[in-house]
Structure 1
Amino acid sequence: MTDQERLTTREAAQRLGVKPETVYAYVSRGQLSSERAPGGRGSTFDAREIEALARRGARREPAASTSGGDLAFRTALTLIDKDRYYYRGVDAVDLAAAYGFEAVAEWVWTGEPAHGTHFTAPPQFLEAARRAVAALPAHSGAMDRLRAAAVAVSAADPLRFDLSPAAVLGCARTLIPTLVGALPTADARRPVEGRTARQLWQRLTPLAPDEQSVRLLDTALALLIDHDLAASTLAARVAASARAHPYAVVSAGLGALEGPLHGAASGLAHRTLAEVLERGGAAPVVADHLRSGRRVPGLGHQLYAGEDPRAEALFALLATVPRAADALAAARDVVETTARHTALHANVDLALAVLSVAFGMPAEAGETVFAVARTAGWIAHALEEYAERPLRLRPSGHYTGPRPPRPLPS
């Protein structure tokens, strides 16, 4: 970084993870200095000041009120910077390429490399989870099953209220395989064994797993472990702030993840790709979305100016799988067709959709992968939050109703 390096308002906002108007709020409060850009259009900012402010934890929208709870999130888990993201300072894409899901999860949890890690579901936990899942209506989806399984395992674990780091890590290593094991297999005749990716594969598609396909899913799981303070992660941290046990933290995350703008977005992208393949091209499909005022699923991400690095990594792997060629071409067609209207890059939801379409998985498969992977991230954030002051995440509401006193309603 040179002494004279200046950033535009947009670049400064992206580096801090805030809206452009918030950058000017920092200026008005004396936290940043600015200069008029050449030609008098807009402002520029000292890159060193932006970096210093980011290190102080300003990558959040400032609280509307200084009273009430503490909204400063200190985290050593994930940094998103310049269209890349890092787990504890190491490039997450490189980690996912070099290690399996379990090893990367251990790195995010502890900061220590763990080779040969294997997660195991205790039989009594697995039995409780499967009983709960079996009691659900036949039309229940994977997210319904995962939520039911998390609650059932919680009730089966008498040590769930032990929030010591060792106990929480022990919970994580058993909860993840239990959640996967509670899902029905796509082919009941095939024995289910192996690590998380192999076990999950056999619950997403009846196609027999091979090393290439398992590696693809394993990489996807590792890439999705954490992504800073996404909505589900914020929900998980709020629960942990109230000292909810790890199972409840995961339940909070699962509830937020199910929204169509979060985990369920990959299902929308799946249906879009399936329609593109059915109609022989992206043009009519994209046109239908734009005509009805809907955004095209699987495109754009507020934290990346270019292509989502998770999508980029998965597309590179998918390009080596002959079975994925048609779905991958459909995804590229969607991106190129939409680019004529607006410059949006592919995000991880589109990459997950290529995976699910190519291997005959249900539309909700991407969301399932997301939920299993992000469970590891929610536990990591719970570990951080348990070390903070309890109930610090208590913002003050801005009351806009009628002023009291008012008479009792008749």
Structure 2
Amino acid sequence: MSYVQYHHSYSLPRHILKLKPNSLGFLLVLLVSQSHVLVRSEFAEINTKHIQSKQDVANGGEDILIQHDDIKSQSGLQTLKVGATKGIPPLDTNGYIIFCPCMGRFGNQMEQMIGGLSFAKMLNRTLILPPLREDLSTFTTFTDWFQVDPILEFHRVIKGEDFMQHYGESYWPAGRRNGYCRDYVVDNNRCRMKYGLPHSAFWDYFNVDFDGVISFDLIDEVDLSLESEVKLLRKQWIERFPSSEHPVLAMYNVPGSFPSLPGNKFIQKYIKWNSSLLAEADKVKQMLFGGEKYLGIHLRVGEDWDRVCQTAVGVSSMYFASPQCKSSNHGRIFQGMCYPSVQEILDLTKEAIMTFDLRHLYIASDDNPYKEDFKETLHALNVTVHHYNPTSPHLDLIMLGEADYFIGNCISTFTSFIKRERDARGRLSTFWGYPV
């Protein structure tokens, strides 16, 4: 296996070099074009989207494409590794980030994913994709729900299971595993990486114990649309935590803003359901709707949500996912946007059905779906009411994301996932308490 190292101040031509990695020409072109190229037998890295498997290289198979713009370094010195285990991204010497999506249910976890991806992009580190939480102590691998390849179009990622299997012991060995916490958490003696559920279950999933805690007072919330802010924060973080000394940033607090910042919402378009869940949703849609248009609604009701709204209504200007329908801090959260009356729900639903000439209503709710109320209200319009109530929320999320029109709860992060996905596809939506 060949290895190549170069100093990035001496640029390779910007066009793509297409060469066999095991050919003499591969080395000659590099040596001729740059006097500072060194051949060496140590580790190295190349962007995963331009590298084939170790087996392909050994067999003289597919060409490897190397492009200068894809090769970046923190210090100016970067090493390229030609060859990697099939299906596994090569080691990223820029370092890694991992966090536990430990706050709340699905909607909260996905808000945290947007924050984690934006933070990794800002730092130019690979994000270790965490397993996703089904309950306080049960986790499932990321690919049980989502695809990895679309995310790679945005930034480098690796499944947590793959990282620990291939790089965990060599790059992040026991004895050098630290947790990273904000200063105020450490000062209050709350930075216990494995204290209680779901934190302990998450790190036990990887058989990880921590050898120490490192505090920081740096900002970890970044809006990727603000270029100057991104550059400043990247510089501060790299100076404080160079990857040579801190190869893996295992975060106690979820990096990034909660809820996600406006300039990062575009990341949602790279988060795509896996094929098996999409196929299941297609079968349900055909069974329920037979190809006819439908309205999807999310009802966030029940005693727990009533308590949330009692806390927020008339008191807070921003709460949970409310920024998705409130563009500023002006104005308080009102009852109709958080916990509308049954009549308000029925009226807005009927208006949407009539406006867009929809033939079916699909209700997603983990509490009272008001199914009989909807049947009575929509009977004259010949609309069929469905409350499928799957055991998993993922089917509801897909069904609502693909509806011809959608009404959701502005405060709910469950709704915000759907709204971001629909916005990325140019699909129309509104919220309870707002007009169609």
Question: Into which bin does the TM-score normalised by the smaller protein fall?
Answer: under 0.3
Which structure has the larger Rg? Answer: 2
Considering fraction of residues, name the structure with more strand: 2
TM-score by length of 2: 0.22
- Structure showing greater relative contact order (alpha-carbon pairs closer than 8 Å, 6 or more residues apart): 1
Considering fraction of residues, name the structure with more helix: 1
